[in-house]
Amino acid sequence: MKPTLFLLAAGMGSRYGGLKQLDGLGPNGETIMDYSIYDAIQAGFGRIVWVIRKDFEEQFRTQILSKYEGQVPCELCFQSLDALPEGFSVPEGRVKPWGTNHAVLMGKDVINEPFCVINCDDFYGRDAFMQIGKFLSELPEGSQNKYAMVGFRCCNTLSENGSVARGVCEFDDNHHLVEVVERTEIMRQADKDNAICFKDEQGEWQPLEENVPVSMNMWGFTPDYFAHSEAYFKEFLADPKNIENLKAEFFIPLMVSKLINDGTSTVEVLDTTSKWFGVTYAADREATVERIQKLVDEGIYPNKLF
């Protein structure tokens, strides 16, 4: 069975014009998301699913889904603040969404095959989709608890316009993920021979290997992941500190770390030569447009995708 691409798009608002996820960066107004979907189709993915807000459905179908008609089967699911397990309710004053793994959980009724989760506003590159597509499509039928993440080489994920936040990955001899450590400031330091460095807890810059794998939120799961997520989300909601903290979020790395630490699942770290880019800073936009145009000029992408 061909894997499904699952795009996290619930952060999109209803004001179409000002959203960086929908900014036309390609020669015919293509978004970064369009390139991800094109690459996924090339890598053998057979279906596209988005998780969005319900109040954005009509506009999303008109302005986004319509362009993929006849290209690939598409489906929507919806994230809302009150989409909670039975017996739980939204804490008074809570307005912030429940986080990325809650968004993933919304796909449990529409995804029954291996799937890849990505952000809709990151340019991941063809090789990254090839790596995760190969992993998912080669899983034995009914496979459970054998997951993957694409580990981008840190040097391929930096911005020239400021620091970036990345999950730095540690893996064992089997290339299985051991830990993801969030580093909120990573950049090259001119006074350290232009080496990549991260700012530690004491505010000091520490060196980081050029090719150390970092997470860009590109995960490969099988449908059993939904059951794990549902069970742990109940634990998350039952923890008083997560109810008192109105900004507490149920993130994918939180769920993955629990499964690894419990010995329930393995997560293979897949290497990729792809170079990530995105619009982290306003100044990144021009460089992103130029990089996409260069890929079109090199024949990697057609001038018009869909």
Would you state the pLDDT for residue 143? 97
Q: Which residue has the tokens 């993130």?
A: 251
Contact 219, 197 (CB under 8 A): no
Reply yes or no on whether the pLDDT at 131 is more than 80.
Answer: yes
pLDDT in tens, 234-256: 999 999 999 999 999 999 999 99
Regarding predicted confidence, which is higher, 117 or 279? 117
Regarding predicted confidence, which is higher, 150 or 65? 150
Instruction: Compute the distance between CA of residue 146 and CA of residue 70 in angstroms, rounded to an integer.
Output: 32
Instruction: Compute the distance between CA of residue 151 and CA of residue 144 in angstroms, rounded to an integer.
Output: 21
Range with the poorest average pLDDT among 15-24, 70-79, 87-96, 248-257: 15-24
Backbone torsion region of residue 193, taken as left when φ is above 0, otherwise alpha when ψ lies between -120 and 50, otherwise beta: left
Assigned token pair, 290? 């130029």
Classify 43 as helix, strand or coil.
coil
pLDDT in tens, 172-219: 999 999 999 989 999 999 988 999 999 999 999 999 999 999 999 999
Tell me the average pLDDT across 134-157.
97
Would you state the pLDDT for residue 14? 41
Reply yes or no on whether the pLDDT at 305 is more than 50.
Answer: yes
pLDDT in tens, 114-125: 999 999 889 999
